Amino acid sequence: MKQTALAALPVTAGILGEETAWRVLQALALRASHGNPVVEGTGVTLDERGRLQLCPPDRAWIVARPEREQGWEPVRPVDDATRELFDLYAPLCCGPRSRALVVGHLGQSLDGRVATVTGASRFVTGPEDLRHTHRLRALFDAVMIGAQTATRDDPRLTTRLVPGPQPARVVLDPQARLDSRLQLLSDGAARTIVVTARGANATPARWGAHVEWVQVPAEAGLLAPQAVLGALRAHGLSRIFIEGGGVTISRFLQAGALDRLQLAIAPKIIGSGTPALQLPPIAEMGEAITAACCRRFALGADMLFDCDLRPARA
C-alpha cells in the first residue's frame, strides 16, 4: 500500500477548485489503500496539513456518497472542472470495494484498434487521456502491464504529469524474458515487481536493485489472473490499475477479475492492426459481458466509457 503523505494545503473559503479537489481524491484513495475506505455518506474535508478529515455534512467540502453512481455530492460551490474531476474519480476512491479495486484501461480507435499492423501504438488517444492515465496511476497502489507492452512501449509508468505518489510498477512476464535495459527495470524511479510463472528461469540479478521477483502458478504458460492479484495483495498491493495491453486486460476480463473497464475511444479509424479486446467467441448476445452501468466522459476529442462490471448494487 502507499505510504506517501499528502502535501500541506491551505484551507480557504469559497469555491472548491480543481487542485484542492485532486488532493481530496488522493486522500480518499490513500484511506482506501490502507484498508479503511469511506463506505457510507460522510462529510469530507482536509486539515491544514492536507490530511483527510471526516465530519458532519454541514462542515464538509463534499459528501462522499458511495451508494450513488457519481460517488459524491458538493457542499461548497464547485466549478465545472472540479465537478468533472469528482464525477470521474470519486467512485474509484470510496465504497466497500475500493479497498481492493481492479480497473483496466485501454485507449483505442473508433474501429477498436490499439495499434497498427507494425505495432505502433503511441498517441492513439490524445493528451487528455494520457493525463487521465497518470491520475489513475496516482490513485492506485500499483500499475500493471504485460511483457509485450513493456517491450514495445518501454514506459516508465510514473505520475510525472500530475501531482501524486508513484505506484508500484508491475510487469507480467511469464517466461522471464524482459530486457533488463527497459526503463522501469533500470531507472529506480519506483518500486517495481516482475511476476513470472513458477519455475521460470529468471535471473533477477540483472534487474535493478529496486525490482522484486514474484512467482505465481501458470496455466498453459499464461499467468492466472486471480493468482496474480492474490500475490500482489500478499505484497501489500490491493488497488490495481491495469494499463495494458489488450491481451492482458482481455485475460483479466475473461477471468472475471476486473471491477471496472475504461475504454477511451479516439476519433480515428485505423482499419487494421491489433484489436483492443480479444475474447473467446460467443454464440448468443445473452452471453456478452454486460456492464452494471456505463458512464461517459469527454477527454478532449476522445470519449471515455467507464464501465462498472460488478453486479448491480442493491
Mean pLDDT of 74-83: 95
Residues 126 and 216 in one domain: yes
* Residue 217 located in a structural domain: yes
Residues 119 and 249 in one domain: yes
* Residue 314 located in a structural domain: no
Residues 93 and 105 in one domain: no
Q: Is the pLDDT of residue 313 over 60?
A: no
**What percentage of residues in the chain have a pLDDT greater than 70?**
95
Task: Name the domain count of the chain.
Answer: 2
Residues 88 and 106 in one domain: no
Residues 43 and 186 in one domain: no
* Residue 10 located in a structural domain: no
Residues 49 and 66 in one domain: yes
* Residue 91 located in a structural domain: yes
According to the model, what pLDDT value does residue 213 have? 95
Residues 200 and 273 in one domain: yes
CATH no. for residue 143? 3.40.430.10
- Residue after which a domain boundary falls, among 98, 131, 153: 98
Residues 82 and 140 in one domain: no
Q: Is the pLDDT of residue 9 over 50?
A: no
- Residue after which a domain boundary falls, among 98, 123, 155: 98
Residues 115 and 237 in one domain: yes
Instruction: Note the pLDDT tens digit of each residue in 177-209.
Output: 999 999 999 999 999 999 999 989 888 888 999
* Residue 3 located in a structural domain: no
According to the model, what pLDDT value does residue 2 have? 62
Instruction: Give the structural domain span for 28.
Output: 18-98
Residues 45 and 63 in one domain: yes
According to the model, what pLDDT value does residue 54 have? 96
- Computed over every residue of the chain, the mean pLDDT equals 93
According to the model, what pLDDT value does residue 244 have? 87
List 106's β-bridge partners, or say none: 263
Residues 154 and 300 in one domain: yes
Instruction: Note the pLDDT tens digit of each residue in 218-227.
Output: 988 899 999 9
Residues 259 and 292 in one domain: yes
Instruction: Note the pLDDT tens digit of each residue in 54-63.
Output: 999 999 999 9
- Residue 13 confidence class, pLDDT cut points 50, 70, 90: low
- Residue 277 confidence class, pLDDT cut points 50, 70, 90: very high
Predicted TM-score (pTM) of the model is 0.93
* Residue 125 located in a structural domain: yes
Mean pLDDT of 259-278: 97
- Residue after which a domain boundary falls, among 35, 68, 98: 98
* Residue 9 located in a structural domain: no
Instruction: Note the pLDDT tens digit of each residue in 112-136.
Output: 999 999 988 888 999 999 999 999 9
Whole-number Å distance between alpha carbons of 251 and 194:
18
* Residue 11 located in a structural domain: no
